[in-house]
Amino acid sequence: MKYMGQFYGSPPASSAAVAVKAIGTNALPYLLRSMGQSDSESKRRVTGVMRVRGMQIPSMVQFSDPMRWQAITAFRILGTNALPAVESLHTLESDPASSVQMAAILVVQPLTTNANASWFQPVLGTNATVGNFR
């Protein structure tokens, strides 16, 4: 599944947003796990060699960066309902992987600065209010 922001307003994005809202805070453990994943060095090397040699990477191989961006989008959809995850996200801000740190900061900052509603608007739409989904 692609980053949901690419599909804003399309049926797949609407369906995905509705599903994330329906799952609600039950999704937080999965989203936190997705945020904290990093690809191993061997995985990056092997897939790099496969690309250079023109080999097709098996579809079962999932890279952490797309999954992390999907998690960021899901956090945006949850809005202030994701506040219970802030403490765990703060822990990820000191992760050795810079991509994990950046992702955690992208989620934590708007949640902890008065839940900046403008940050959530691209996913929720201009008439939505943070934490109050219709």
pLDDT digits (tens, 9 = 90+) for 22-43: 888 898 999 999 888 888 888 8
Question: φ and ψ at 129, to 5 degrees?
Answer: -115, 145
What is the domain count for the chain? 1
Q: Dihedral angle at the C-alpha atoms of 122, 127, 129, 134, nearest 10 degrees?
A: -110
In a domain, 118, yes or no: yes
Residue 134 lies in a domain: no
Q: Would you place residue 129 in the very low, low, confident or very high pLDDT band (cuts 50, 70, 90)? A: very low
Q: Supply the range of the domain harboring residue 82.
A: 4-123
**Domain annotation covers residue 129:** no
pLDDT-derived band of residue 99, with 50, 70 and 90 as boundaries? confident
What is the model's pLDDT at position 104? 92
Whole-number pLDDT of residue 125 = 47
Query: 39-59: per-residue pLDDT in tens?
Result: 888 888 898 899 999 998 887
Strand-pairing partners, residue 129, are 132
Is 132 a domain residue?
A: no
C-alpha to C-alpha distance for 48 and 57, rounded to whole angstroms: 9
Q: Read off the pTM.
A: 0.66
CB contact at 8 A, 77 and 124? yes
Q: Is residue 128 part of a domain?
A: no
Residue 119 inside a domain? The answer is yes
Asked if residue 131 belongs to a domain, the reply is: no
Q: What is the pLDDT of residue 115?
A: 52
* Cα distance between residue 83 and residue 1, in whole Å: 25
pLDDT at 12: 64
Asked whether residue 8 is assigned to any structural domain, the reply reads yes
